[in-house]
Amino acid sequence: MTAVSMPNAGRAGGEAVLTDIDLTAINTIRTLAIDAVQKAQSGHPGLPMGMAPVAYTLWTRFLRYDPKDPAWPNRDRFVLSAGHGSLLLYALLHLARVEAVDAQGRGRGRPAVSLEDIKAFRQLDSACPGHPEFGLTTGVETTTGPLGQGAANSVGMAMAERWLEARFNRPGHRLFDYRVFALCSDGDMMEGVSGEAASLAGHLKLSNLCWIYDDNHVTIEGQTDLAFGEDVARRFRAYGWATLDVADANDTDAFAHAVATFQRSVDRPTLIRVRSVIGYGSPHKQGTSKIHSDPLGEEEVRLTKQAYGWPQDAQFLVPDGVRERFAQTLGERGARLNAAWREGLAAFARADAGAAAELAALWSGAPPAGWDADIPSFPADAKGMATREASGKVLNAIAPNYPWLVGGSADLSPSTKTELEFDGAGDFQPGGYAGRNLHFGVREHAMGAIASGLALSGLRAYTGTFLVFSDYMRPPTRLAALMALPVVYVFSHDSIELGQDGPTHQPVEQLAALRAIPGLITLRPADANETAQAWKAALGQTRRPACIILSRQALPTLDRAEFAPAGGLARGGYVLADSAGGAPEVILMASGSEVALCVEAWRRLGREGVRARVVSMPSWDLFEAQDQTYRDEVLPPAVTARLAVEEASPLGWDRYVGPRGRIIAMHSFGASAPGKDLRVRFGFTPEAVLAAARALAGRA
């Protein structure tokens, strides 16, 4: 092949050399992005244009990835954290002929991204949405777009590799040694979540992690120096990362040298800073001042293609030899490595059938057999215990039977009771990556995103913090729901009754915010036995995340000989207590700690001859999933005297109480005082519930 030269400013040793077909492949990536954005009249062509040489070099020279088996467990991960540049990834998937697979990794007999998909960029039902979506497009390792999230996900992926390596690799059997690459933009570097995640990655010495930073000094408003002037490399060195510089994105040889240097690292993650000019790739090329976050326009498309030496009128052109070049490099390398790995897996299974069976169960996505066999049952106790205490006991009963259940808290495990305390649980730390207790530090946002990265790698992840701080991790929680990842979020200190810490720590609107996330199961158990059932419901999910909302204060453990079994939690809402003698005159409903208030009022109403029903509503999501017949049995339409009680925002309860019902809830922030005083101040007393119930039943 004829050799052509690309600019090599800033690097000693002369010019980096590319063959004609390499340069053609790079320009194919660029022009596919240009044409797709122009056709859609929407999107961001700049990043694919600028970083095409970098991505092409990574994929063809380094990435261990089998396009015919994109679910290969030991593949290298490539995360496009800068999800606005989605066409870079779509072009790579198309040119590499990555095959589409289903959730079980079975081939679908079609490409992951066809040329027609690229032509339908940002259109309904295309495999090429505006930002990459996990589960929609094979080869997309995680949903990205909200900046910083993909970068933080990649830390979870790197942690998962280290955990799998520590648990399953044996002398003579090296099953796991993959690396994780994330392509990040200036915007990713500005978002706080990436800093949180990078700090933790440096502490953990994740030498299998490499972030590639497209340093083009441009964001939507203009040059980054409007708001961003720090030395990113120095910041990352302070985090404990190695940092490498590539002065020109077109210098593929310099970039290759940087990746090779990363691959030799054994004690820290690596940041490769690549200088580019958005839309062109080289910091030394001059061109239009237009920031390429929009379609270029017909005239500029023609001029840009002319600069690339491309047919100006050609659209969606993939020249002969480009797909073949990917097959000869990425494809052949990936197939060879995958085949060798499969042989190694078979040998591993012969040597250790038990560990191989555990791996197969992990990859299936289903809980292991017998995982719930030791979930405790709690005896009736008027004093009871905080549901956070019960949760810790349940978690530690489940975890020994669930070997790949890992998690921790944002520096709050003594309060959230999320530490695994059984023998052998251990801590995940440098030199001890098999530990199952993860320590995230005071980094809620990164914790949520890292948990998604763990889940995307097959591990079952849980997190812990106070409910009020769910606000700090809402973006990754939302994305986990969008990706259908079965992460479990433990949120304790669930109401104003945490007391003297005051309104900054007392959640009011957080329950409503979590219930608003589509696909997220929100569980707020009323006592210890409902808490046990909440864990069973949460870990029984394979395609949905769940949050378990827990009390700081002790709650009575209800006598299930008198009240309905706690297994009713699985249906979201159930009749906990009823009265004889006909249909109820009034229905009292609540979740969590306020169920006990309703029970006390129910007893007193019974003594007064008022037929009342208590409905425990730990999960609206699960209740709404029941058929109408069941819901009408629990909340008979004819009974319109309904009272809901919850120490949180009333938002949403109106659907259950109806126009004639009433809600006792929070209409303001709380206050700093002992919990007993706050209950009186804000009207969460048996007397207040009783008075409202009497009025609704016409017995005032």
**Catalytic center residues:** 444
Distance between CA atoms of 427 and 434, rounded to whole angstroms? 8
Length of the chain: 700
Q: Are 387 and 424 in contact (CB under 8 A)?
A: no
**Contact assessment for residue 546 and residue 572, using Cβ atoms and an 8 Å cutoff:** no
The distance in angstroms from the start CA to the end CA of the chain is 93
Report the alpha-carbon distance of residue 586 to residue 523 in Å, rounded: 24
Task: Specify which residues 3 forms β-bridges with.
Answer: 19
* Amino acid (one-letter) located at 542: T
Question: What CA–CA distance (Å, rounded) separates 329 from 335?
Answer: 10
Contacts of 664 (CB under 8 A, 6+ apart): 643, 644, 645, 646, 683, 684, 688, 689, 692
Q: Please give the Cα distance from 398 to 462 (Å, whole number).
A: 13
Q: Which residue has the tokens 């992005």?
A: 33
CA distances from 205 to 155, 166, 234 (A): 11, 14, 17
For residue 270, the surrounding DSSP H or E stretch is strand 270-275
381: nearest Cα among 529, 579, 254, 271:
529
| Cβ(31)–Cβ(310) below 8 Å | yes
Q: With contact defined as beta carbons under 8 Å apart, do 405 and 399 qualify?
A: yes
CA distances in angstroms from 345 to 65, 151, 169, 172, 175, listed in the order given: 17, 30, 10, 11, 7
8 A C-beta contact, residue 5 and residue 15: yes
Q: What is the DSSP string of 130-195?
A: SS--TTTSTT--S---STTHHHHHHHHHHHHHHHHHHHH-BTTB------EEEEE-HHHHHSHHHH
- Record the tokens describing residue 416, joined without a space: 């959230």
Q: Please report, as a single letter, which amino acid is at residue 114.
A: S
The count of other CB atoms within 10 Å of the CB of residue 546 is 27
Retrieve residue 100's tokens: 């589409």
C-beta separation of 7 from 249 below 8 A:
no
318/384 Cα distance (integer angstroms): 69
DSSP structure class, residue 608? T
E strand or H helix that includes residue 232: helix 232-239
CA dihedral 415, 418, 422, 425 (to 10 degrees): -120
In contact, 448 and 475? CB cutoff 8 Å: yes
Place of tokens 């020249």: 319
Q: Does residue 208 contact residue 162 with C-beta atoms inside 8 Å?
A: yes
Residue located via tokens 């519930």: 689
| Tokens encoding 86 | 């989605």
For residues 50 and 284, is the Cβ–Cβ distance under 8 A?
A: no
Q: What is the CA radius of gyration of the chain?
A: 28
